[in-house]
Amino acid sequence: MLKNYVKEDQKLPLFGVGPFIIYGIGLLNVIGIVLFCYVFKIGTVGKPWTYFFAIVGALLTVAGVLIWYIGALRSDMDESITENKLQTKGIYAWVRNPMYSGWWIALSGILLFWHNAWLLIYPVLDWLIMTIALINTEEKWLADLYGDAYLNYKKRVNRFIPWFPRKEQK
């Protein structure tokens, strides 16, 4: 496990694998932009699609930054980690990983500013990379630490897409 603890009895790392995942998919997206838009010069859409891509891109970017901000800075997540408490309230009642979600949504929006149809595969690749990475790291850590409480939480709340929580099964 990564060693970026604040307290000696803290069970989870404060940052986890997040920076590695986000930097990795960010780099993958930059490579895609360079390849499709500047090297191969294929996939660029014309008007009126450029307007659509720009508007949707701006909305996604703003929404992603907002989701990340709420999850990272307005949710007391750092305190939950240092106190070894499972965070399930606030934005965490709508999405299990708002910081990853925010980056994913924002990066998807940023990709649209190049109005290139080939770049539309990148949000899917990013989602796949984040899903595989989280299932094999943080989700295992949380299941080991919180047991049934986390497993029940996983059943109710989406991993990346903010949505209404499902009803608890009794």
Judge if pTM exceeds 0.95: no
The closest alpha carbon to 165, from 102, 105, 88, 104, belongs to 88
Taking only the tens place, the pLDDT of each residue in 77-128 is 888 888 899 999 999 999 999 999 999 999 999 999 999 999 999 999 999 9
Distance of CA 4 to the CA centre of its chain: 20
Domain that holds residue 51: 32-156
Taking only the tens place, the pLDDT of each residue in 32-59 is 999 999 999 999 999 999 999 999 999 9
On whether residue 17 sits in a domain, the answer given is: no
Q: Take residue 75 and report the two structure tokens written for it.
A: 């949710």
